[in-house]
Structure 1
Amino acid sequence: MTHVSLHRCRFVDYTPPQITSIAFSHPSTPSSAHPPPPTLRAAIGRTNGSIEIWNPLGSCWHHESTLQGGQDRSIEGLTWVQDHDATAGKGALRLFSIGYSSVVTEWDLAAGRPKAHLDCNGGVIWSIAAQPRWAGAGAGEEGGEEETAQKIVVGTEDGALTVVSTAGGEMTYVRGLMRAGTSKSRVLSLVWKDRYTVVAGMADSTIRVWDVRSGRSTSRMSLNKEKGREVLVWSVKVLLNGDIVSGDSRGEVCFWDGKNYTLQQRIKSHEGDCLAVEVGGINGDTVISGGVDMRTIVYKHIGGARRWGQTARRRFHKHDVRAMAAYECGKFSAILSGGVDMTPIVIPLRQFGAEHQLALPAIPQTPIITTVPEHRLMMSWWGREIKVWRIEELDGDEMYPLAGQDEERGRKLISRIMLSNEENLTSATITPVPESEDFVLAISTIAEIKLFHLKSSSSEALRVRKITIPTTLTLETSEEDDESDDEPDEIELAKEGARLIKFSPNGKSLLVITPDSRILTVVLTISGGKSPVSFAGSVHELARQDRPTPAVSKQLIHNFQQRSKKGKKRRVEEGSLHPYDRTINRATFSSNSSILAVADLSGWIDTFVLKSGVWCANENGITLPKLKSAAVAMEFRPYVPPTTPPQLTITEKGVEFEELPESQTPDDEDRLLVVTAKDNHILEFNILQGRLSDWSRRNPSERLPHDFRIQKDRAAGIVWEVSSPGSVRAWIWAASWVWMFDLSQDLPAAEAAEEVTGQKRKRDANGSIKAPSEYAAKGESGAGDKVLLGQSRGLVFSAPAKSEKCVITSDDEDDNDTETPFKLIRDKDEDDEKEDEDENPLSNGDSKKLSKPQRNKPFWKTNRYRNLMAFLPVGRKDEFTWGPSGERIEAMEMVVVERPSWDMEMPPRFYQGTA
Structure 2
Amino acid sequence: MDIHRCRFVDYTPHTITASAFSLPSSTLPLKPSSSNKLRLAVGRSNGDIEIWNPKFNWIHELTLPGSKGRSIEGLVWATAEGEPPRLFSIGGSTYITEWDLSTGRPKTNYDCNAGVIWSIDVNDKGDKLAVGCDDGSVVVVDISGGFGYLEHGMICQRQDLRVLSIKWFESKMLVGGCSDARIRIWSADEENKGRLLSNMRVDKSKAESTLVWSVMVLSKKRQIVSGDSTGSVKFWDLDNFSLLQTFKIHDADVLCLNKDVNEEKIFSAGVDRKIHQFELTISNKSKVSKWIHCFNRLLHSNDVRTMSIFESKNYNFLVSGGVERSIVIQSVSGFQDGKYKKLAINQQQSNIVVNSNLKLIIMWQDQTIKIWRVLESNSDSEFDTSFNTKNHVLIAKLTLSDEENITNVSINEDASLLAVSRINNVKFFKLSLIPKSTKLKINKIRDDQFDSIMEGGKKVFFYDNNKALILSASDELYKFTIDTEEHKIELIDEIDTLIDESNKSFTSLGHLNSIKDITIDKDSSRIALSRFNGTIEILPLNSNIQPYILTRLSSSPQLMKFTERQTLIVITEDTQVLEYNASKEKQDLSLLTQWSKTNSEFLPNQFTSLDEKPQGLFLQEDKLWLYGSSWLSFFDLSIDIPTTMSNNQHKNKKRGRDGLSIDTYDETKEEDEDLEEDQMDLIEGNQRLTKKLQTGKDGKKPFWITTKYRPILKVDIFGNNEIAVIERDSFTLPTAPTFDVHKVKV
Q: TM-score, normalised by structure 2?
A: 0.86
- Counterpart code for 2:714: A
**What is aligned with 2:352?**
369
Deviation of 1:292 (Å): 0.9
- Counterpart code for 2:368: E
Q: 1:464 aligns with which of 416, 441, 446?
A: 441
Counterpart contact for 2:516–2:530, Cα < 8 Å: yes
Counterpart contact for 1:430–1:503, Cα < 8 Å: yes
Question: Deviations 1:639-664 (Å, cap 9, x if unpaired)?
Answer: 2xxxxxxxxxxxxxxxxxxxxxxxxx
Deviation of 1:258 (Å): 2.8
- Counterpart code for 1:683: L
**What is aligned with 1:102?**
94
Q: 1:900 aligns with which of 712, 716, 729?
A: 729
Deviation of 1:327 (Å): 0.8
Counterpart contact for 1:449–1:496, Cα < 8 Å: yes
For residues 700 and 221 of structure 1, what CA distance do their matches in structure 2 show? Answer: 66
**What is aligned with 2:478?**
520
2:567 corresponds to 1:671 = yes
2:538 corresponds to 1:607 = yes
For the pair shown, which has the larger CA radius of gyration, 1 or 2? 1
Secondary structure of residue in 1 paired with 2:559: strand
Structure 1 residues 362 and 452: alpha-carbon distance in aligned structure 2, compared to 1, 3 A threshold: same
Question: Deviations 1:307-342 (Å, cap 9, x if unpaired)?
Answer: 222322111111000001111122111111100011
- Counterpart code for 1:538: L
Secondary structure of residue in 1 paired with 2:551: coil
2:708 corresponds to 1:864 = yes
For residues 452 and 80 of structure 2, what CA distance do their matches in structure 1 show? Answer: 35
Structure 1 residues 61 and 550: alpha-carbon distance in aligned structure 2, compared to 1, 3 A threshold: farther
Deviation of 1:544 (Å): 1.3
Structure 1 residues 419 and 408: alpha-carbon distance in aligned structure 2, compared to 1, 3 A threshold: farther
Structure 1 residues 423 and 163: alpha-carbon distance in aligned structure 2, compared to 1, 3 A threshold: same
Counterpart contact for 2:605–2:645, Cα < 8 Å: no
Secondary structure of residue in 1 paired with 2:213: strand
Deviation of 1:353 (Å): 4.1
Bigger relative contact order (CA 8 A; separation at least 6):
1
Question: Deviations 1:583-615 (Å, cap 9, x if unpaired)?
Answer: 2221111122222111121111121234xx4x5
Q: How does 1:672-687 map to 2 (within 5 A)?
A: 672-677=568-573, 679-687=574-582
**What is aligned with 1:39?**
37
Counterpart contact for 1:349–1:781, Cα < 8 Å: no
Q: 1:25 aligns with which of 22, 37, 40?
A: 22
Q: How does 1:196-595 map to 2 (within 5 A)?
A: 196-213=172-189, 214-227=193-206, 229-239=208-218, 240-281=220-261, 283-302=262-281, 304=283, 305-353=288-336, 355-393=338-376, 409-433=390-414, 439-472=416-449, 492-493=452-453, 495-504=454-463, 506-524=464-482, 530-531=485-486, 535=489, 537-547=490-500, 575-578=507-510, 580-595=511-526
Question: Deviations 1:882-902 (Å, cap 9, x if unpaired)?
Answer: xxxxxxxxxx22111111221
Q: 2:77 aligns with which of 77, 80, 94?
A: 80
Question: Deviations 1:531-557 (Å, cap 9, x if unpaired)?
Answer: 5x654x4342111113476698xxxxx
For residues 553 and 8 of structure 2, what CA distance do their matches in structure 1 show? Answer: 37
Structure 1 residues 732 and 697: alpha-carbon distance in aligned structure 2, compared to 1, 3 A threshold: closer
For residues 296 and 248 of structure 1, what CA distance do their matches in structure 2 show? Answer: 15
Question: Deviations 1:832-854 (Å, cap 9, x if unpaired)?
Answer: xxxxxxxxxxxxxxxxxxxxx99
Structure 1 residues 203 and 471: alpha-carbon distance in aligned structure 2, compared to 1, 3 A threshold: same
2:648 corresponds to 1:744 = no
For residues 294 and 742 of structure 1, what CA distance do their matches in structure 2 show? Answer: 46
For residues 646 and 401 of structure 2, what CA distance do their matches in structure 1 show? Answer: 53
Counterpart contact for 2:272–2:302, Cα < 8 Å: yes
- Counterpart code for 2:514: T
Counterpart contact for 2:377–2:388, Cα < 8 Å: no
Counterpart contact for 2:599–2:641, Cα < 8 Å: no
Counterpart contact for 1:334–1:783, Cα < 8 Å: no
**What is aligned with 2:561?**
635
Q: TM-score, normalised by structure 1?
A: 0.71
**What is aligned with 2:129?**
152
Secondary structure of residue in 2 paired with 1:606: strand
For residues 8 and 738 of structure 1, what CA distance do their matches in structure 2 show? Answer: 13
For residues 199 and 310 of structure 1, what CA distance do their matches in structure 2 show? Answer: 24
Counterpart contact for 2:595–2:637, Cα < 8 Å: no
- Counterpart code for 2:176: A
For residues 855 and 363 of structure 1, what CA distance do their matches in structure 2 show? Answer: 35
Counterpart contact for 2:479–2:491, Cα < 8 Å: no
- Counterpart code for 1:864: K
For residues 703 and 414 of structure 1, what CA distance do their matches in structure 2 show? Answer: 46
For residues 465 and 413 of structure 1, what CA distance do their matches in structure 2 show? Answer: 14
Q: Superposition RMSD on alpha carbons, in Å?
A: 2.8
Aligned residues: 686
Percent identity over paired residues: 33
Query: Which range is displaced more, 150-159 or 586-595?
Result: 586-595
Deviation of 1:247 (Å): 1.4
For residues 407 and 79 of structure 1, what CA distance do their matches in structure 2 show? Answer: 52
Secondary structure of residue in 1 paired with 2:407: strand
Question: Deviations 1:122-169 (Å, cap 9, x if unpaired)?
Answer: 111100001112xxxxxxxxxxxxxxx611000011221001111323
Question: Deviations 1:158-208 (Å, cap 9, x if unpaired)?
Answer: 22100111132311111101124xx1x211111111122211111111112
Counterpart contact for 1:293–1:913, Cα < 8 Å: no
- Counterpart code for 1:680: T
Counterpart contact for 1:292–1:911, Cα < 8 Å: no
Deviation of 1:781 (Å): 4.5
Deviation of 1:306 (Å): 3.1
Counterpart contact for 2:615–2:628, Cα < 8 Å: yes
Q: 2:717 aligns with which of 867, 873, 894?
A: 873
Deviation of 1:780 (Å): 2.7
Where structure 1 has 5 or more consecutive residues not aligned to the other structure, the ranges are: 134-148, 396-405, 474-490, 553-573, 640-667, 723-727, 757-771, 785-852, 878-891
Structure 1 residues 166 and 203: alpha-carbon distance in aligned structure 2, compared to 1, 3 A threshold: same
For residues 30 and 6 of structure 2, what CA distance do their matches in structure 1 show? Answer: 48
2:593 corresponds to 1:694 = yes
Counterpart contact for 2:213–2:255, Cα < 8 Å: yes
Counterpart contact for 1:154–1:161, Cα < 8 Å: yes
Deviation of 1:40 (Å): 0.8
Counterpart contact for 2:29–2:314, Cα < 8 Å: no
- Counterpart code for 2:404: E
For residues 781 and 369 of structure 1, what CA distance do their matches in structure 2 show? Answer: 29
For residues 177 and 407 of structure 1, what CA distance do their matches in structure 2 show? Answer: 67
Secondary structure of residue in 2 paired with 1:911: coil
Deviation of 1:712 (Å): 3.1
Q: 1:598 aligns with which of 525, 529, 532?
A: 529
Counterpart contact for 2:273–2:299, Cα < 8 Å: yes
